[in-house]
Structure 1
Amino acid sequence: MSKKASQSHIPQAASQSVVDHEEHTPSREPPPYSSPVVVPTAVHDQPMSSRYPRSIPSLPNLDYSKYSIPDCTVSKDGTTIAMYHPSFSTDPRALTRFIQEQAALPPLPYIHIVGGSREAIMMQQPDFDIKLNMLRYFVPAQSNGWNYLRLVGDDEMAFRGKHTQTTTPVVKGGIEDWARRFCKESSSQKSFTLERQLINWNTSYIDGQIRSLIAATGYTRHVTVSFPMRYTKIVVHPPRSSESFFTSLFSPLMDKKRYEVARGVWPYATLPPGPEEDVSGRSCAVQSEEAWWRDWKDVLRLAIVNKKHGWISLDDVLEYKMCPVEPEIPKNPWGYC
């Protein structure tokens, strides 16, 4: 995925602005963006409880209490949060604070590796099923982070309060103006969506390294490597109690007022991946994909040949590195010959 360094980078004046892209394809123009995400104190702030510890070593420095959202539901796949708190659909200031708070929180990215025949996978009996949490690699430990709140551009197709994507209206007042427009809507079929997005992460490199490592163990069955994310969309709805029986019955036929104009963007690096000569100024929020692979490849190989099912964590890395003798790798772990 070769792109020129100027196609997606963090401007020097605001170290968190990175060109948006869809599924590893960076755009060529810098996006419109808000000021860096600085989270104001919300009226519903509560004292931190033991559920949200601040000082666990290696835990990314985030305000985990803000992940707890009033009056919400989470989709079965963990991607979408639907919330129905009345103030967020009627009070522009409350909605603005909420969107800023949630944009300051990343989604939960992880790598999912599954091996087995298609029939075995469908029956949930794979040979191995491994997950690796990647959150810490998007949250720098010694800075305010590179994340920013990106708003839809003037000429960008998006849901701007209509049931179809358009380029109108054009709003110049930032997130506050979008919040006012949404809260003025009287329709019970309105929604305001914040999407959390990761960019400039070289998943193609990681995918290739994982597949090569698995092939080197002699494994010949089907392998799936994916990069799922949880908590990627937050959708604000009017209170459910405001829907009458008539409204719920005919809601599929009603004109929906959709606002999908805001994204919380979390860069892995200042530039998208590409040839070395094109990305010589690329720097990563925490570490490069190559450095990550050097840290994790041996532990990953051991988990695969041991047919692990579950998460691989830093504990596995520590156990591997502190073992006085190198763990033995079976010569023929799959029993093919």
Structure 2
Amino acid sequence: MSSDELKSSAQVWGGPAATTEDSPPAYSGISQEDNNSNEESSSAPVVQTQTTRRPAARVTYDPLRRLGLLATVPYHKYNIPDGALSNDKMSLTVKYSDLYAQPQHMMPFIVEQALLPPKPILRVIGSHGMNTVDFDITLNLAHLLNLKQRKWRFNSAQVSPLQGGIGPLYSDEDDRVMTMLATSVRQFCRDKSENKSYTLTRVVEGLPTDMLAGQVRNLAATVKYRGVLKIDFVCERSQVIVHKQPSSWFSSILRLHPEKKFELAETVWSLFNLSDNEEDVATTEASLRTSQEWWKSWSSTIRNAMIAKHKGNIGIDDWIETRMGHSEPEPRIEWGNDRSHDY
């Protein structure tokens, strides 16, 4: 696939649109008569106006608007026939010989999968005793991603979906992206190993997990919860793996051929920026502000789920109920330990 085709794909996903420059102000000639008149009135005070450029307006976080932007994602492309999704939903493995043996087939597949964002998840579990789960709350954070800006990174080491690698970042418009991607694909397909895999990793960068985990713990303390909190940030759909297994089942069982891993390419997704221009690059400070606004908007909904001992996903319907005034009664006593009773 050419660089132009990749750029076209990025535009379909909402890539940067062309901007137009403001036209210069029109000036008309001044006649001699007007000039003489101006000389006569030169003693009159002249008031000059200066046009100042307004700073970028800050946009408040609106989950309904953010969820609407997810409608642009072609979700059907996550579903690959005969692909095996792992139990934790983090990796999808395909084993087509047409892919791992022929670069001209594998290259378009990797580019297509690179257009799809990962699914970052926040899961909060409160428990006490040996096996008593008080609440188990899951929140989908995918709407916090900036779908208009995806970058690439090429590595020689294993990649963490919530940390990424250490190589430089490249934008979709950079012609070197297609060159490096094609090189990695050819390197994989031409390798003669009996057991090999190529991994495309989708990485989320900029999510302040420590800050959000601290907010969750503070919230649990305010509702008098004294149990054990487990807070996990996971990234579902974060890896697409093309795997060639040994042709002999005997070799597979005995693991005679160690797997040779090509974990070379990753797409990097940042959080959206709270400004009037959603194409602004999200800095660390901007990502922190976005996460803080998200927490302010959702903390009451998470509080309700904790007190209600909710188990499962919470989403926009729960957020709307909270906005409409629903609030679970404050617990009268401490709860979440073996000495507590139901409040």
Length-normalised TM-score, structure 2: 0.66
Change beyond 3 A, Cα 1:89–1:128: same
CA separation of 1:118/1:39 partners in 2, compared to 1, >3 Å: closer, same or farther?
A: farther
1:69 has 2:58 as partner = no
Structure-2 separation of matches of 1:320 and 1:158? 42
1:135-154 correspondence to structure 2 within 5 Å: 135-140=142-147, 145-152=148-155
Cα distance change of structure 1 residues 311 and 36 upon mapping to structure 2, 3 Å threshold: farther
Q: Is the partner of 1:307 in helix, strand or coil?
A: coil
2:187 is equivalent to residue 190 of structure 1: no
Q: 1:17: which partner in 2?
A: none
CA–CA distance in structure 2, aligned partners of residues 199 and 35 of structure 1: 26
Question: Which residue, 240, 244, 247 being the options, matches 2:248?
Answer: 244
Find the partner of 1:262 among 261, 265, 278: 265
For residue 283 of structure 1, give the secondary structure of its aligned residue in structure 2: helix
Hey, what does 2:184 align to over in structure 1? 178
Counterpart CA distance in 2 for 1:218 and 1:247 is 56
State the 1:254 CA deviation. Answer: 2.1
Please tell me whether residue 132 in structure 1 is matched to residue 139 in structure 2: yes
The residue aligned with 2:294 is 292
2 CA distance for matches of 1:157 and 1:233?
Answer: 15
Shift of residue 35, structure 1, vs aligned partner: 10
Distance in structure 2 (CA, Å) of the matches to 1:281 and 1:304 = 30
Residues 6-41 of structure 1 show CA distances to partners (whole Å, capped at 9, x for unaligned) of: xxxxxxxxxxxxxxxxxxxxxxxxxxxx99964759
Give 5+ residue unaligned stretches, structure 2: 11-66, 160-176, 274-281
The residue that corresponds to 1:231 in the other structure is 237
- Distance in 1, matches of 2:142 and 2:283, equals 25
Residue type of the alignment partner of 2:204: L
Q: Which residue of 1 aligns with 2:329?
A: 328
Distance 1:327 1:175, change over 3 A: same
CA contact (8 A) 1:35 1:148 kept: no
Structure exhibiting the larger radius of gyration computed from Cα positions? 2
Tell me, yes or no, if structure 1 residue 99 matches structure 2 residue 113. Answer: no
Tell me, yes or no, if the aligned pair for 2:206 and 2:287 is still in contact at 8 Å: no
8 A contact 2:196–2:261 mirrored in 1? yes
Quick one: distance in 1 between partners of 2:292 and 2:5? 29
3-state secondary structure, aligned to 1:180: helix
Match in the other structure for 2:307: 305
Q: 1:332 to 1:292 in 2, by over 3 A?
A: same
Name 2:121's counterpart in structure 1.
110
Amino acid paired to 1:147: R
Give the superposition deviation at 1:329.
2.9
In structure 2, C-alpha distance between the alignment counterparts of 1:91 and 1:314, rounded to whole Å: 44
* Residue 16 (structure 1) aligns with: none
Query: TM-score, normalised to structure 1's length?
Result: 0.67
The amino acid of 2:198's aligned partner reads: F
Q: Deviations over 1:189-239 (max 9, x none)?
A: 11111111111111111100110010111111111111122122211013x
Partner Cα separation in structure 2 for residue 98 and residue 107 of structure 1: 16
The alignment of Structure 1 onto Structure 2 pairs a total of residues equal to 256
- Aligned partners of 1:113 and 1:35: how far apart in 2? 43
